[in-house]
Amino acid sequence: MNKEKNKNSRDQRRKNRVRAKITGTPERPRLVVFRSNKNISAQLIDDTKGVTLATASSGAGVANAKKAGTTLAKKAEAKKISTVVFDRGGNKYHGRVKALAEGARAGGLKF
C-alpha cells in the first residue's frame, strides 16, 4: 500500500510541475492527454473559462492513438483552432502519447 501511495504522489507532483508552466487560452487552448492502461484520450481546454472545447479518445495501440490525434485536429479545425499548448499530463513523450501528438500535428494542429 505504501509503495502505491508513493507512486501516486510522485505522479501527482510531476503533473503539477507541468501544469504550473502551461495554461490554455481561447486562442491557444491546452491539449491535455490522459493515458490509461487500455485507452488514450485528449481534450482541448480553455483554462480562462474552464471549458472543454473538443475531445477525442481511442482504443489501445499506437495506431489508434494517432487516429485520435487526427480526429481531435479535425474537431479543432471546425472550431477555427490552429495552435495549441501540449500538456502530456506527466507522462513521458513516448509511445502512445507521442503517437497522439504526431497525429494531431498531421491533422493540422501547431504546438
CATH number at residue 8: 3.30.420.100
For the ranges 6-20, 66-80, 92-106, the lowest mean pLDDT is seen at 6-20
Domain that holds residue 47: 2-107
Q: Does position 10 have pLDDT exceeding 90, yes or no? A: no
Over residues 40-51, mean pLDDT: 93
CA–CA separation, 52 vs 29, rounded Å?
9
Rounded to two decimals, what is the model's pTM? 0.84
Q: Does position 2 have pLDDT exceeding 80, yes or no? A: no
For the ranges 1-5, 6-10, 90-94, 99-103, the lowest mean pLDDT is seen at 1-5
Overall domain count for the chain: 1
Per DSSP (E only), the strands in 1-111 are 30-35, 40-46, 51-58, 85-87
Stronger pLDDT, 12 or 100, i.e. the higher one: 100
Q: Does position 46 have pLDDT exceeding 90, yes or no? A: yes
